Structure 1
Amino acid sequence: MTTANIEIDNKAAGPGPEDQERLDEEIFRDLVSVELSAEQRARLVAPPAVHPRQRAVLAVHWHPEWIPIELTMARLAASYPNRQNQLIIPTQHNELLCLGELAGVEIDCYSSGFNRKVQLLLHMRAEAVERADVLRSMLSHTFKYRGGQLWEFIDSIVEPAWDARMQEAAAETGANDEVVAFVRDCAARLRALLADHESDVPPMMIKNKLVSEFIAAQRPWRPERMISRALLLAKAVKQIVKREFSLQYFYRASEVIEEARGLGAGVVIPHPEQFWPILLADYDVDGYEVWNPQSREYTEFLIGVLNRQNKSRAHGERRLLVFMGDDTHMSEKAKPPELQDRQKAAREVGLQPAWDDPAIRKALMLAGMDRDRVIDQYRGRLA
């Protein structure tokens, strides 16, 4: 980021008024840019580790975001040079993307039985996208919620009418008045920038993480402790906004599944740490994600549940499959290393170590599942 080289005499006070507007413009332009430098491209295609022994690559839950898919595929080829069996399908949030003969998307919807937002992974043949007018309309409607949620997120920080949310988040994180004032100031400046430039910003860049990224970009001029506490506070507010966001905005999961099945799509429920109770809903799905980098607690339990459900199914009835999702967000790898979220940046497309964990492998064996079988069976369902 170009602004990082500017020196501030009093770091706790931040830039003077004469510099603030110019710095904010530079930061904002960097945060919403979809242009890649040669250095970024080189970093994106060079994985931090190579896995020569991994011969099966299953990746049906990952997000290219604004990174060209060909760069991800080059990184994947370097990561798994000896792969022999693979199923690679991008799942952008609320946007259908094709890769070769297959297409995928992760769609937000809600489960009326549980009265909560859930997400579904949909995978289909690329030619089905041409007749997916209704699904694309549903996705377009849902895509807009992210922009709306960003504005509500910012208003929850800035506007006195939403002060209860800020007070709740401050109490939860132990933020003092100085941190609260700093976060409010950052959010107000970001809101002004969005108002001035929203028509020029690519729609996919209008999302909640702009708030935390804008705060994090203040590091050259603020103490690290201030930035860390401010990020904690902003994250707490975001969780409250998500919790309170109206579910009526979303289509029902059953409606989405019905439309997807009409297109011959496969359906997988991701994020086991949030959605495993949905097993009780008995949706028409192909399988459940039992592991991803955000959730390792229920993996063996979920494999056992799916195994018991499969045993109770009638002969010839389609079995539920075990999936694992790396949930990689490629844009995180485009950031300068010092600005990356380490946990998110460590995720790699197709890297799911749980498949090789001895305890989990035992549960998978009892369930008659492994990575190759899931790849072959799910690919067959999408044929």
Structure 2
Amino acid sequence: MNTKQVCVEEIEISPEITDEDREIFSAVISVDLADWQIKQIVTPSQIHHRQEKVLAVHWHPEFVPMNLISQRIEAMFPNRTDDLLIPTQHNELMSYGPYTGVEVDCYASGFNQKVQLLLHFENEKVENAHVLKSMLAHTFKYRTSQLFEFMDSITQPNEKRVHEAARETGADEALVEMVRIYVTKIQTMLDENWSDVPKASIKNKLIKNYFDALRPKYGNTVINRIQAYLKAVKILVKDGFSLKFFYRATEIIEEARSLGGCVVIPHPEEFWPILLAKYDVDGIEAWNPQSQRYTDFLISVVNEQNINRRAGSKEILIFMGDDCHMSEKTKPIDTQDPAKAAREIGLQPAWNDLNIRKRLIIAGIDRQTVIDEYRARLAG
């Protein structure tokens, strides 16, 4: 455990990029896995002997190879008898077994906000999906541009954002200046090494991970203060990020349907209004590690909609999203976010919650019924 204590006011940082800076940058952007990282990936912290059905249609492989992910799943659920596992990388199609998936950023004009949708396909249905792939490439590039706006807000700087974030988090001038110097270095190293930087590393998390790597040098107290300030700036950047360059949710859904794909609404606390907009979706997460407030309510709403649906229309399916990000498993244990590290592919405690199970029984839903029905729709 890091107990080093450093006073920000006493820290002197050269604006020149040092060998240490370059070493940290190289380590942070690297997608190569050391032996200790591979061991962490394939060795789950818990084994779920009694879980026989594994349903996971919202998880992020990131840069972790699928063969290592498969080993982790095998170890976690040694007695599984059926499963439906579909990865959903942000704005990038990825395949696992017979299925391909993606989580897409898009724009819902009906309630004027950015939303995300999960798209799922049988592999062969997207082999020649040139239009969808072009849409995703545009979205990926635009979404990635948020990192540059994030850095610019700190380094140029955007005085309004910096002052507001500093005020919200109690960051003093010394801390703000320390962050500015380091982010300027990161920005320069990113530009200098652009052609060699893995695409998977170009995201907001790059800044967070870089400062986490400075914990041994400056201690947890300073870095925790910095992370709080960075998070406040990032939220302001996201709030001001233009939505007009995203594709509309209806356009994404139409393209997925044209390819024979299926659509699920993730992150229920944020995106449940999509249900009210009556978009053409197959299901909704009623539970997610980040979104548990509306679980009972959503199950009841979906059940009522299914009872009253018009003749010939499909039922809305209930999903539970684990939202596992596999890169968290590659970090040293003492730098992992405990909440994110606890997320596992296929581990969704809501299915076993007695109060939730009561609602699900009334709706005639369990893991196996959803697996069977969704598999049939994907094949349709």
TM range (shorter): over 0.9
Aligned to 2:287: 291
Listed one character per residue, the Cα deviations across residues 54-109 of structure 1 (whole Å, up to 9, x for unaligned) are: 11100100000010011111101100011111100111111111222211111110
2:151 maps to 154
1:84 aligns with 2:62: no
| Letter paired with 1:141 | H
What displacement does 1:316 show? 3.6
Q: Is contact 2:303–2:363 with CA below 8 Å preserved after alignment?
A: yes
Amino acid at match of 1:45: V
| Cα distance in 1 between the residues matched to 2:73 and 2:5 | 45
Deviation above 3 Å: which 4+ runs of structure 1?
8-20
Q: CA RMSD in A?
A: 1.9
For the residues of structure 1 that align with 2:100 and 2:5, how far apart are their CA atoms?
Answer: 52
Aligned 1:183-332 pairs, distance under 5 A: 183-332=179-328
Where does residue 339 of structure 1 map in the other structure?
Answer: 335
What is the letter of the counterpart of residue 29 of structure 2? V
Q: Is residue 65 from structure 1 mapped to residue 62 from structure 2 by the alignment?
A: yes
Letter in 2 for 1:233: Y
Listed one character per residue, the Cα deviations across residues 98-144 of structure 1 (whole Å, up to 9, x for unaligned) are 22221111111010111110001000110011121100000000110
One-letter code aligned to 1:264: G
TM-score (norm 2): 0.95
Match of 1:74 in 2: 71
2:356: which partner in 1?
A: 360
Structure 1 unaligned blocks of 5 or more: none
| TM-score after normalising by structure 1 | 0.95
Aligned 8 A contact 2:5 2:220 in 1 = no
Task: Name structure 2 gaps, 5 residues minimum.
Answer: none
Once residues 111 and 102 of structure 1 are traced to their aligned partners in structure 2, the CA distance between those partners, rounded to angstroms, is 26
Q: 1:234 to 1:192 in 2, by over 3 A?
A: same
Q: Which residue of 2 aligns with 1:177?
A: 173
Pick from 88, 93, 114: which aligns with 2:90? Answer: 93
Looking at structure 2, the residues matched to 19 and 185 of structure 1 have their Cα atoms a distance apart, in angstroms, of 9
Q: Percent identity?
A: 55
Question: Shift of residue 179 of structure 1?
Answer: 2.2
Q: Any idea what SS the aligned residue of 2:159 has?
A: helix
Shift of 1:187: 1.3
Report how far residue 41 of structure 1 moved: 0.9
Identify which of 109, 114, 117 aligns with 2:114.
117
Alignment of 1:133-144 (within 5 A): 133-144=130-141
Which AA in structure 1 matches 2:56? A
Cα distance change, pair 15–197 in 1 and its aligned pair in 2 (3 A): farther
1:138-185 deviation line (CA, Å, top 9, x unaligned): 00001102321100000111213x110111112222222222222222
Q: How far 1:224 moved relative to its partner?
A: 1.9
Of residues 31, 38, 41, the one that matches 2:38 is 41
Q: Deviations over 1:252-284 (max 9, x none)?
A: 000000000001001001011211122111000
